[in-house]
A and B are shown apart, each in its own frame.
Chain A
Amino acid sequence: MNNLIKFLLISVAAFFGLVTQSQAEYPEKPITMVIPLGPGGSHDLNARVFTSIVPQYLGNAIIVKLVPGASGQTGTSMVAQAKPDGYTLLFTHNYFDQLQSHIKKLPYNPLKDFKAVARINYSAACMIVRSDSKYKTLQDLFDAAKASNGKIKMGHSGMWGATMVPLAQILSWANVNASLTPYKGGGPTMQALLAGDVEAILQFPSGVNAQGNKVRTLACGAKEKSLGNPPVLSDLGFPGQIYMDRIILAPAGTPNDRIAKLQSALVKLKDDKTFKNLMKRLGENTAYMNGPDYEKVRVENSEKYKDLVKKMTKG
């Protein structure tokens, strides 16, 4: 019975929480946060978690709006054109934000038209193989790739997507080639690996965790405690870390005091028990980074990606 009462109370609270709050200062109405990706992906899930907790610190709700299409361009341009009043935000990742403009003409300039509110967390890209695979280390895999003359099969989650760019980056660092096949997102990529269609894939820890002993992690782009600390690329002699940042951006003209208000609410997530608990279960970390710090990362990354894209499109 307790469960029933709890259930009813929460449902009622969730519905009325959206309408009853009204204050004179920002935010006096719910904030819309656009995700330029489809439902059910890792951005959606991460957003569902923190938007269900932030309201108690912010004083108003954040409503998630999913606007997928054209590799994130549809949703991103929607926010770029929105009124910069702090009521429309964008929840995106570093590849849409810092790499895409080097590939195609966009109707907005990511670095100029947006400013960073915060990075919620990051996910390291990990190279995995099936547990019955003969490749025990990353070196084994790359040796085999070289021996196969670039014919070894690897999968990724879509052209210029969140595991394709890191994969290309790692291969370019190791100076090996592979036959890359795109799949529609992380799930189908994993399925392709398990079915034996491809030999190796990049995957984020939350996806790796679920498979337990069916897959073997060869290396990760950054430290990953949840996977039992597999070798990190930078320790294996590769020049850098590889991970996806999940970031909140606001249109560039948004008043600074409003962004500060958002940041002061978001930073409290770091110490929120429920948040930490839920994120841990998702297999995600809570490596929060404030807007001004992340601005520097954006500029640096954008330069790095420019070179990478040049290399990739040439070959």
Chain B
Amino acid sequence: MFDSFLNSFPLLFAGGSFLSIITAIILGLLIGLFVGALPGLTTLMAMAIVLPISFFLDPLIGIPFLIGVYKGGIFGGSIPAILVGLPGTGASVATTFDGPALTRLGKGRKALETALYSSVIGDLSSDVVTILLIGPIALIALLIGPPELAAILFLSVLIISSTSNGSVGKNMIMLAVGLLLALIGQDPIGALSRFTFDIFELRAGIPLLPMLIGLFAIPEILLNIENKSKDFIKTKLNLKKEEKLTWNEFKKLRRTIFRSTVIGTTIGMIPGVGQVVAAFVGYAAAKNASKNPERFGKGELEGIAAPEAANNAVNGPTLVPLLTLGIPGDNITAILLGAFVAHGLRPGPQLMTEQGSLIFAIMLCMVIANVLFLIIGYITIPIFSKVVSIKKSYLLPLTIVFAFAGSFVFRHNPVDLYFLVGFGVFGYILKKLSFDVTPLVMAFILAPPLEYAFGQTMSLGDENVLKYLLLERPIATFIICITPLLTWKLWQRSKQLRQVAAETTEEQEKKT
């Protein structure tokens, strides 16, 4: 193993190839950044479209190029989430809690820089961990089957909803609504239609993207219109005046970034959980550990660093099942698989022994991509944060345009616009009644995989699931056993936090 690692260096640096690799990665990063920043266009689509280009290139150019698109796209998605509160994917939802608030405070650039540094640190560390621990991670992937996944997903739903804002009762209602909405469409196990009322458009279920934009962006816009958009963006902000992230501010974020990186890397090792859970758990953990939890959601830099570091730290380990077992863990790695295969490299146990140095070379390319990304991000952030310097009277309508265009471009299906408007109005009403929509969205995103894994477990357990779990699935049994304990502890802690938050607001009110 170590031999092939050392042999990977000449592959990268020999001859003139290094310059081509760098150029390929930079081009990929720019394409990804651009596509990711436009709501409605996803990294996945971008990668699928540029995949054929990689067919006709050297594997050590074509694959780094795709990796560039991948990394650029994930960060790109955070840009609209921070600046205008439009989440492009489930993974950037948690970023919209503090992003737009910071932008409104005139700290858009700081927020973007925090996102960039956290993303790069999270990603880079997880890549390094992956290179070092590729063998053990591959073993973990085989230990996690449907029963374990079901237990972990169930625990995630509980963790996230018990640490959300607002009252426990309201959160539970939102959780139930989310679960109910997720049931609409074909059931994942038997492919029978549920709650579709014979409306064909509902057979595929409710689309996530219009729902996200509807619930998160539209209510913001409506509230701003209500307030005559006084505070949407304070004034026309001058870029020169907009401050960069200071070293001291960054130092305060170190712990959060480190914690989220560990969370993200761990979650990445478990196939089938993914970025969405990582981002939310990272956010919840940061809030939990913070001395000022009441500031979260009102423009806290830690609230950006936590989800961004966590969802990027997932990237390294998710590649492991692909590289060592030849099994893609998600759609993005499936596209990378295509690129490998088109070059006659069939990822799997054999590739690792026969072409180990090439695999390590590709993983080193990921590390290089991160470093390059730091530079490109740093250069392009001022351009993106210019958005904020547009007059507020233009920005609001522009956001509406992006919300509608993004929802439509996603599937080119006009029905999605009804979903957008419907969820927009629903989200507005919920906001007025001070409901937090996070548990709803989480339940909606996690319910289908949870239901699937649960159904599989029942099927695997045949007639006696309890016996199956106890005798053959010790890991799943263990997770199920600690679930009530953990949830109770978290619930107590969040009750404390709420108390602290209430006291500080009281104090503030006294002062004013």
A interface residues (Cβ-Cβ under 8 A, vs B): 1-4, 6-8, 10-11, 14, 38-41, 44-45, 48-49, 51-52, 64-71, 73-74, 77-78, 103-104, 107, 151, 153, 158-160, 179-184, 187-188, 190-192, 194-195, 197-198, 206-207, 209-212, 214, 278, 281-283
Within 8 A of A (CB), among B325-353: 325-329, 331-335, 337-338, 341-344, 346-350
Question: With the chains together, A115 CA to B363 CA distance in Å?
Answer: 46
Report if B135 contacts A (CB, 8 A): no
Q: Which of B1-9, B20-28, B484-492 contacts A (4 or more CB under 8 A)?
A: B20-28
Report if B481 contacts A (CB, 8 A): no
Residue of B nearest to A107 (CB): B200
Residue of A nearest to B333 (CB): A40
Q: A3-B61, A67-B411, A209-B346 are in contact. Are A159 and B52 (CB under 8 A)?
A: no
Q: In the complex the two chains form, is B58's CB within 8 Å of A194's CB?
A: no
Residue of A nearest to B457 (CB): A181
Q: In the complex the two chains form, is B271's CB within 8 Å of A182's CB?
A: no
For B342, give its contact among A184, A194, A281 (CB under 8 Å). A281
Residue of B nearest to A41 (CB): B334
For B203, give its contact among A4, A70, A181, A283 (CB under 8 Å). A70
Contact flags B386-423 to A (C-beta < 8 A → 1, else 0): 00000000000000000000000001110000000000
For A39, give its contact among B44, B204, B350, B412 (CB under 8 Å). B44
B interface residues (Cβ-Cβ under 8 A, vs A): 16-17, 19-20, 23-24, 27, 44-45, 47-49, 51-53, 55-58, 61, 65, 141-143, 145-146, 185-186, 188-191, 193, 200, 203-205, 271-272, 321, 325-329, 331-335, 337-338, 341-344, 346-350, 411-413, 452, 455-456, 459-460, 462
Question: With the chains together, A215 CA to B45 CA distance in Å?
Answer: 33
Q: In the complex the two chains form, is A281's CB within 8 Å of B48's CB?
A: no
Q: How far is the CB of B66 from chain A (nearest CB, A)?
A: 12
For B52, give its contact among A48, A182, A194 (CB under 8 Å). A48
- Tell me whether chain B's interface is mostly helix, strand or loop, or mixed: helix
Neighbouring A residues of B188 by C-beta, 8 Å? 182
- Tell me whether chain A's interface is mostly helix, strand or loop, or mixed: helix
Question: With the chains together, A8 CA to B57 CA distance in Å?
Answer: 10
Q: How far is the CB of B442 from chain A (nearest CB, A)?
A: 20
Q: In the complex the two chains form, is B349's CB within 8 Å of A212's CB?
A: yes
Q: In the complex the two chains form, is B452's CB within 8 Å of A7's CB?
A: no
Residue of B nearest to A4 (CB): B20
Q: How far is the CB of A174 from chain B (nearest CB, A)?
A: 20
For B48, give its contact among A2, A44, A192 (CB under 8 Å). A44
Q: How far is the CB of A255 from chain B (nearest CB, A)?
A: 24
Q: In the complex the two chains form, is A181's CB within 8 Å of B19's CB?
A: no
Q: In the complex the two chains form, is B348's CB within 8 Å of A195's CB?
A: no
For B343, give its contact among A11, A182, A194, A281 (CB under 8 Å). A281
Q: In the complex the two chains form, is B334's CB within 8 Å of A187's CB?
A: yes
4 other contacts beyond A65-B412, A283-B341, with CB at 8 A cut-off? A40-B337, A44-B334, A48-B48, A187-B328
Q: In the complex the two chains form, is A39's CB within 8 Å of B460's CB?
A: no
For A70, give its contact among B185, B326, B344 (CB under 8 Å). B185
- Show 28 A/B contacts (Cβ-Cβ < 8 Å), sorted by A: A3-B20, A40-B333, A45-B341, A51-B52, A52-B56, A69-B203, A70-B186, A70-B204, A73-B200, A73-B203, A73-B204, A107-B200, A159-B190, A160-B191, A181-B456, A181-B459, A183-B456, A190-B327, A191-B141, A191-B142, A191-B325, A194-B142, A197-B145, A198-B460, A210-B346, A212-B349, A214-B348, A283-B346
Residue of B nearest to A1 (CB): B16
Neighbouring B residues of A14 by C-beta, 8 Å? 52-53
Q: In the complex the two chains form, is A182's CB within 8 Å of B338's CB?
A: no
